[in-house]
Amino acid sequence: MTATLIERLVVRAITLATDSFEDSAAMAELRALAGDDRKALERAIRSCLAQPASLATRHRAVELLARVRYEDPTGHA
């Protein structure tokens, strides 16, 4: 896991939180960026909380990252 990946995930999640209205497309982009690195996703979630953005933007960014981290992309339980 590299700090660069975490930084890229945070920046992209914050950007998607404000620019994207399609959750599935935003999550697919974050999923592709993260690959299988669950630890990077965990750290990116925590890092989003400290970003200089509005509470609503941080909330949405964390939500997108958490859904990528914890939801099954195939839709199975």
Q: Is the pLDDT of residue 77 over 80?
A: no
Structure confidence by residue, pLDDT tens digits, 38-59: 999 999 999 999 999 999 999 9
> DSSP character for 76?
-
Which value, to the nearest 10 degrees, does the dihedral of the CA atoms of residues 32, 18, 48, 76 take? -40
At residue 76, the pLDDT reads 57
Alpha helices in 1-77 (DSSP H): 3-19, 23-34, 38-48, 55-70
At residue 2, the pLDDT reads 65
56 CA to centre of own chain: 14
> DSSP character for 47?
H
Q: Is the pLDDT of residue 21 over 80?
A: yes
